[in-house]
């Protein structure tokens, strides 16, 4: 649960070794999460169309690593990658971790986040639009499904994350 320590906006830069350790620590979780989502929501692959084999870089700015997603149903890939050695990607999405989480769950509107410049995208814009639309067609909360994987502790952590994010950002997003 190393993610938990890094939600504060100001974070000390971590050394390359620590980044790589963090990646190793979260990898089993990421693999479980993405397999479960793929199994439960197989229809989202159809909406990805030709971008099932696109390499997406999801970059939560305050975490010590970024996430590399290739949503290929034949060879699903979701892994943490250290900032110092990011892979080549077809599209990149960058923003605060919890904003990204809320976007995945449609708690937040992607276009609005883009208008407000909280969200940055680069690379193949169609790939990003397809991923967004595919995720948006998923009913329920991917974040909660993920938290459920870890039982009551997972759910408590998610609730705390949301509270701190809400306190930190909601004030200025809606004024």
Q: Which residues pair with 91 in a beta bridge?
A: 56, 123
Q: How far is the CB of 64 from another protein (least distance, A)?
A: 22
Among 2, 27, 31, 133, interactor with another protein by CB under 8 A = 133
What are the residues whose beta carbons fall under 8 Å from the beta carbon of 148, sequence distance 6 or more?
154, 155
Q: Select from 64-72, 79-87, 109-117, 160-168 the region that touches another protein (CB under 8 A).
A: 109-117
The answer to whether residue 2 forms part of the interface with another protein (CB under 8 A) is no
Q: Show the tokens assigned to 47.
A: 């909406």
Alpha-carbon gap, residue 23 to 113, rounded angstroms: 27
Strands 56-60 and 91-95: parallel
**Backbone phi, psi, residue 17, to 5°:** -65, -40
The nearest distance, CB 9 to another protein, in angstroms, is 17
Measured from the CB atom, the residue of 42 and 125 that comes closer to another protein is: 125
Of 126, 75, 97, which Cα lies nearest the Cα of 11?
97
Name which position in 5, 84, 120, 149 contacts another protein (CB under 8 A).
Answer: 120
Closest distance to another protein from the beta carbon of 39 (Å): 18
Binding region for another protein (CB under 8 A) out of 1-9, 65-73, 110-118, 148-156: 110-118
Nearer to another protein, 29 or 91 (CB): 91
Q: Under the criterion CB under 8 A, does residue 40 sit at the interface with another protein?
A: no
For the chain, where are the E strands, in sequence order?
56-60, 65-70, 77-82, 91-95, 120-123
Residue choice 13, 17, 75, 117 for contact with another protein (CB under 8 A): 117
Residue 39: both structure tokens together: 């199994």
Which parts of this chain interact with another protein (CB under 8 A)? 47-49, 103, 106-112, 114-117, 120-126, 128-134, 136-139, 173-174
């Amino acid at each position: 649960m190393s993610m938990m320590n890094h939600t504060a906006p100001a974070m000390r830069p971590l050394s390359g070794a620590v980044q790589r350790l963090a990646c190793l620590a979260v990898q089993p979780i990421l693999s479980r999460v993405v397999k479960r989502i793929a199994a439960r929501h197989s229809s989202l692959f159809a909406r990805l169309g030709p971008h099932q084999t696109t390499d997406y870089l999801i970059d939560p700015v305050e975490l010590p690593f970024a996430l590399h997603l290739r949503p290929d149903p034949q060879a699903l890939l979701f892994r943490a990658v250290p900032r110092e050695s990011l892979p080549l990607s077809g599209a990149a999405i960058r923003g605060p971790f919890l904003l990204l989480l809320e976007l995945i769950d449609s708690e937040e509107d992607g276009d609005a986040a883009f208008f407000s410049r909280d969200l940055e995208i680069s690379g193949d814009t169609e790939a990003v639009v397809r991923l967004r639309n595919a995720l948006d067609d998923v009913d329920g909360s991917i974040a909660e499904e993920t938290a459920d994987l870890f039982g009551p502790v997972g759910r408590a952590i998610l609730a705390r994350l949301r509270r701190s994010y809400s306190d930190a950002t909601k004030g200025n997003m809606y004024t």
